[in-house]
Structure 1
Amino acid sequence: MGKERLDKILASQNLGSRKEVGALIRAGRVSVGGTEVRRPEWKADPEADVIAVDSQVLNFKRHVYLMMNKPDGVLSASRDPRARTVVDLLPPGLRRRGLFPAGRLDKDTRGLLILTDDGGFAHRMLSPKSHVTKWYEAVLESPVSEADVLRFRRGVALADGTVCLSAGLSVLREGETPLVLAGLREGKFHQVKRMFLACGNRVLSLRRVRIGGLALDPELAEGAARELEAEEAALVFRTAPWIK
């Protein structure tokens, strides 16, 4: 990416505002290539130069990718003046300028959500052309039939006439309120709920459990988040081996 202002580099790594990191630099607490630098406008290459703050080498990351286990009642948004958002749930150590949810979950939907500051990654993940399947566990009001499975496979026609892309549907637990697994390659407004309504059923609860080949970490508590390694983030664009 070439050279950038030193204060911009440090601010992008969650070390403070441009004003705050500028004060760090002017105080002589920052070095580039082993040489103390006191000018915030100094140009450095964050991916080639060794930058240190208080003698601690900066582990520069151009982009970050977070996995969150979204709880019920929280908005999938970066900010909202009237409601708590998924970004509000992040601890200080995971917060970073420009973070946004890559794809949304309804306020009452739980489960896997990716937050990032990488717009290209989000666009690729959400584009139907990428064929990234999002998998949801849904508790339903009534049992599903083989006809419902076939309708999902052929593409459900919603109440407004919109025809959805082919989707997967399988039963995980039978009974009066069955648990099913639904796989979608697109993300229309309230789509899972509307698809089941079109089949004469109703979703009682909904949780996203997988995006592509990336599964929700079973050790991640609701409301918690953790950083994804690059290899984990890349799993989004792979098909899970158990998905046919």
Structure 2
Amino acid sequence: MTLNKYIAHSGQCSRRDAAELVKKGKVKVNGEMMLDPGYRVKPGDLVILGGKKLTPQKNMVYILLNKPKGFITTTEDPEGRKTVMELVENSGAERLFPVGRLDRNTTGLLLLTNDGDLAQKLSHPSHEIKKIYQVTLDKSLSKPDFDKIAAGLELEDGEVKVDSIAYLESKNEVGLEIHSGKNRIVRRIFESLGYEVEKLDRVMYAGLTKKNVNRGKWRFLSDREIILLKHFKN
């Protein structure tokens, strides 16, 4: 097993993030710094990250959280702000980490797991996982701007296309389906046209919804949902 995969299977992060940790010199193998993510871990090797011995997880855990506003999507925050890990600390699972990221003020569906392989698959931009958001704006979205978003916009880091957009109960509320995993992409779409996003709620991710999961609550995924995620295709 390669070193980055070994780290991912230990429930620390995705394989992609594990590779970055290795390249930054954060990992030691048998007391020596190892900078090659592709190093083949041998039986008896001692792998250390952050002063802790790593051991691959045998029991994988998958949690769906309905994230409330005001929580950081990270395993720990040096500034002492509230993190999503506090919301699932009674799950009994060790070494969980979030799959992807929701802004502090964004609410909705967030997955947490200790399955590094699945996290890698779902987080990597090349897999273009489908997401649906409910967006509340500070003013009504004009029809010309609606059409611009539907046709595709050019932002500072390139073109972004949505899969679909629709007005909801009022013209300052829209539903947006998108594959892009770029940072703050939904907020930036509307900000580029002069709108402020007052509320942003992710209602669907990779075919999963937060139905019957109240804000701030969580549940374990069913066996069927786990299988569907592992074989998920848009």
TM-score range, shorter chain: 0.5 to 0.7
CA RMSD, 1 decimal: 2.5
1:131 alignment counterpart: 128
Task: Compare CA radii of gyration and give the structure with the larger one.
Answer: 1
- Provide the rounded CA distance (Å) in 1 between the counterparts of 2:223 and 2:125: 22
Distance 1:95 1:186, change over 3 A: farther
Asked if residue 68 in structure 1 is aligned to residue 65 in structure 2, the reply is: yes
Instruction: Please state how far the C-alpha of 1:97 moved relative to its aligned partner.
Output: 2.5
Residue segments in structure 2 that go unaligned for 5+ positions in a row? 2-9, 12-56
Q: 2:220 aligns with which of 211, 227, 236?
A: 227
Deviations for 1:78-107, whole angstroms, at most 9, x for unmatched residues? Answer: 112411111111142x14222111011000
Asked if residue 116 in structure 1 is aligned to residue 113 in structure 2, the reply is: yes
User: Matched residue pairs, number?
Assistant: 178
Distance 1:100 1:142, change over 3 A: same
Instruction: Please state how far the C-alpha of 1:72 moved relative to its aligned partner.
Output: 0.5
Q: 1:209 aligns with which of 195, 200, 203?
A: 203
Instruction: Please state how far the C-alpha of 1:238 moved relative to its aligned partner.
Output: 5.2
Q: Aligned partner of 1:80: which letter? A: D
So what's the TM-score if we normalise by structure 1?
Answer: 0.65
- Provide the rounded CA distance (Å) in 2 between the counterparts of 1:118 and 1:67: 14
Deviations for 1:46-100, whole angstroms, at most 9, x for unmatched residues? Answer: xxxxxxxxxxxxxx963111000101001111112411111111142x1422211
Deviations for 1:169-206, whole angstroms, at most 9, x for unmatched residues? Answer: 1111224xx21111121222221111011122221111
Instruction: Please state how far the C-alpha of 1:152 moved relative to its aligned partner.
Output: 2.8
So what's the TM-score if we normalise by structure 2?
Answer: 0.68
Residue segments in structure 1 that go unaligned for 5+ positions in a row? 2-10, 13-59, 240-244
Partner of 2:159: helix, strand, or coil? coil
Deviations for 1:2-61, whole angstroms, at most 9, x for unmatched residues? Answer: xxxxxxxxx99xxxxxxxxxxxxxxxxxxxxxxxxxxxxxxxxxxxxxxxxxxxxxxx96
